[in-house]
Homo-oligomer: A and B are copies of this chain.
Amino acid sequence: MSPPVAGEKRPALVTCTAPVNIAVVKYWGKRDEKLILPVNSSLSVTLHQDQLKTTTTAALSRDFTEDRLWLNGEPANIEQPRLQTCLREIRRLARKRRGERNGGDEEDTPPLSYKVHIASENNFPTAAGLASSAAGYACLVYTLARLYGVEGDLSEIARQGSGSACRSMFGGFVQWVMGSDADGKDSVAQQVAPETHWPELRVLILVVSAEKKAVGSTAGMQTSVKTSLLLKHRAEAVVPERMAQMIQHIQQRDFEAFGQLTMKDSNQFHATCLDTFPPIFYLNDTSKQVIALVHRFNAHHGETKVAYTFDAGPNAVLFLLDETLEEFVGVVQHTFPPKSNGDQFLKGLPVKAASPSEELLAEVVRDPIPGAIRYLLITKPGPGPSAVDDGSCHLLGEDGMPGSSS
């Protein structure tokens, strides 16, 4: 697809969407703060955009007087250093590409001197505590690349926006290879398997009733790298082997092994947070109750049917196979009965309401905690970023401003 054409009056407009990803081998800690180079490789599952996505529209016009940004409809600061890095890198590639072609701006693409307008929004509430910066930066970089006619691997640029954003540049199962180059050119994302690879895999997000915001991940990582002796050991001695194992488990669709390693790696990440000084806690008592529930459920079945992972917050992301979904959702509903506040408790992919057996409930449900889980979002692995051809989805109108489109 060639870049859009800027007409006399109308801006060149591109709209794209990008997914959230959830790491199963965790990224925590940078060896280079500026280039966002990690202390270890990581691996994630890209979640389906039907449930969770960022949409970004970017526009270029001779009429724009300055670069501008809107997030979820509100004006935002485009001067953020990381955003500026992404913009600068994309423009640099565009310049290089055009220079290679004909030594300057092309007639059929907007001049690089045009100012850019960017609008971005999520189809899920920011308050849900689902990592949105990965999808946000992936979408930004993907959209800008389209707008400026840049091709090739963009994960290295997305990485400089938000480390884990590089993994949102692909669908399915994606590794972020830490690399060794000082300039970060080899610290890139690679698809391990496409989203179609494991069709039975489901992802269940348990959104825990909000508490106050914990330590942000950027600051948290810095403190961990500085103070945690265990993080250093994890990065150097534990993760390399786990990466190889995890890739193999995914390739073999071995849920037992995939699930066990996913849980262990989540626990180890949170252990390094606790070994940080001052310590960082992302799991709260509800998170711990979810962990205990999953272990009881698996113990009941004598195998790993459900696996949890937690990022820098209390929400649980659970992996399970389609065949387990109904029963486990029933167990969650019994353990964390929704408060009757009129909100929908089950969101995302449809699931039949199943009543787990009395025996199962007796064995795995302990002291129900009404309201501890706000809602459940059911999703599955999904594709990477893509362009939206439907013009009605643009977040910027023909005047290059938000709120004026349909």
Residues of chain A whose beta carbon lies under 8 Å from any beta carbon of chain B: 227, 229-230, 233-234, 237-238, 260, 263-264, 267-268, 270-272, 274-279, 281, 283-285, 288, 291, 295
Q: Among the listed B260, B268, B283, B284, which residue makes an inter-chain contact with A230, where contact means beta carbons less than 8 Å apart? A: B268
Complex contacts, A233 vs chain B, CB 8 Å: 229-230, 233, 237
Complex contacts, A270 vs chain B, CB 8 Å: 274
Complex contacts, A281 vs chain B, CB 8 Å: 283, 288
Look across to chain B and name the residue whose beta carbon is closest to the beta carbon of A268.
B275
CB distance from A108 to the nearest CB of B (A): 56
B274 touches A274 (CB 8 A): yes
B267 touches A275 (CB 8 A): yes
Complex contacts, A237 vs chain B, CB 8 Å: 229, 233
Q: Among the listed B267, B275, B279, B283, which residue makes an inter-chain contact with A277, where contact means beta carbons less than 8 Å apart? A: B267
CB distance from A8 to the nearest CB of B (A): 58
Complex contacts, A229 vs chain B, CB 8 Å: 233-234, 237-238, 268
Could you name 24 residue pairs across A and B whose Cβ atoms are closer than 8 Å?
Answer: A227-B264, A229-B234, A229-B237, A229-B238, A230-B234, A230-B272, A230-B275, A233-B237, A260-B277, A263-B277, A264-B275, A267-B275, A267-B276, A267-B277, A267-B279, A268-B274, A270-B274, A271-B271, A271-B274, A271-B275, A278-B295, A281-B283, A284-B285, A285-B285
Complex contacts, A276 vs chain B, CB 8 Å: 267
CB distance from A53 to the nearest CB of B (A): 32
Complex contacts, A260 vs chain B, CB 8 Å: 277
Look across to chain B and name the residue whose beta carbon is closest to the beta carbon of A270.
B274
Look across to chain B and name the residue whose beta carbon is closest to the beta carbon of A281.
B288
Complex contacts, A295 vs chain B, CB 8 Å: 278
CB distance from A258 to the nearest CB of B (A): 15
Complex contacts, A268 vs chain B, CB 8 Å: 229-230, 274-275
User: Bound state CA distance, A38 and B158, in angstroms?
Assistant: 47
User: Bound state CA distance, A278 and B215, in angstroms?
Assistant: 25
Complex contacts, A279 vs chain B, CB 8 Å: 267, 291
User: Bound state CA distance, A238 and B227, in angstroms?
Assistant: 13
Look across to chain B and name the residue whose beta carbon is closest to the beta carbon of A287.
B281
* A229, A271, A272 — most chain B CB neighbours (10 Å): A271
**4 interchain residue pairs of minimum CB distance:** A271-B275, A271-B271, A271-B274, A233-B233
With A230-B272, A267-B279 given, name 16 new contacts (CB 8 A). Answer: A229-B237, A230-B230, A230-B238, A230-B268, A230-B275, A233-B237, A267-B274, A267-B276, A267-B277, A268-B275, A271-B274, A271-B275, A279-B291, A281-B283, A284-B285, A285-B285
